[in-house]
Amino acid sequence: MEIKVLKKVMSANDAVAEEITGFFNEKGIFAVNLMGSPGSGKTTMLEKTIEMLLPDYNIAVVEGDITTTIDAKKLSRFPVKIAQVNTLPFGGECHLEASWIKDAVREFDLETIDFLFIENIGNLVCPAEFKTGAHKNILVLSLPEGEDKPLKYPLAFQVSHLVLLSKVDLIDVLEYDVEKAEENIEKVHPGIDKIQVSSKTGKGIQDWKAWLTEQRKLLFDN
């Protein structure tokens, strides 16, 4: 019985996610779902992303957290639209669901948005299981997390379209084996795009911008 209930919940979420994606397509909104562990650097990377896309694109953000508006306040210094989703009223869920995204974007003037960034809750398990309606899933993997995360949490990598290896400025300090990490990523998701980035030094940020703008162009310019 529990399995049937779970399947029903997932099926309902998938249906709403599909509806949202269709709506984004109609409006010309390219939606990106950012996933990663707590402390992986998602919010800082989002700040850098907003900086590099402004003023050429109009941006909106759905900021997900179990509680608080700390990250949303960090982003409020930018001229972007922000909607906060706290999951504590929903039982403190460790992921965002499609219906919550649907409600959140109602706060925006959708005719004026080019990019929508969904910062999912810090977790490598739950967010990978629930579709958000985004066109692309981006996984932020920080060097301090180690090289073996792809093997321990394969689903998060399998449902992603790009892995941002963040905090690469710490390679020497951590004696991090980037090749091993990328090899492990390939084991669980062969051929996935990977970009090494550092919010501190700016490494890879322009490559990330190029990837984003190219993906949007491929979707809407055809």
pLDDT in tens, 169-212: 999 999 999 999 999 999 999 999 999 999 999 999 999 999 99
The stretch 124-130 carries a mean pLDDT of 95
The CA-to-CA distance between both ends of the chain, in Å, stands at: 45
Q: Is the pLDDT of residue 9 over 80?
A: no
More confidently predicted of 107 and 56: 56
pLDDT at 89: 80
Q: What angle do CA 99, 103, 109 make, to 5 degrees?
A: 135
Check if CATH label 3.40.50.300 holds for domain 2-217: yes
Query: What is the Cα–Cα distance from 46 to 42, expressed in whole angstroms?
Result: 6
In three-state secondary structure terms, 61 is strand
Q: Is the pLDDT of residue 16 over 70?
A: yes
pLDDT digits (tens, 9 = 90+) for 47-104: 999 999 999 999 999 999 999 999 999 999 999 999 999 998 877 889 999 999 999 9
DSSP character string of 86-127: E-GGGT--SS--HHHHHHHGGGS-GGG-SEEEEE--SBSSHH
pLDDT at 2: 44
Evaluate if pTM is beyond 0.75.
yes
pLDDT at 221: 87
pLDDT band for position 11 (50/70/90)?
confident
pLDDT at 90: 75
Partners of residue 162 on adjacent β-strands: 138, 193
Query: What is the Cα–Cα distance from 82 to 76, expressed in whole angstroms?
Result: 7
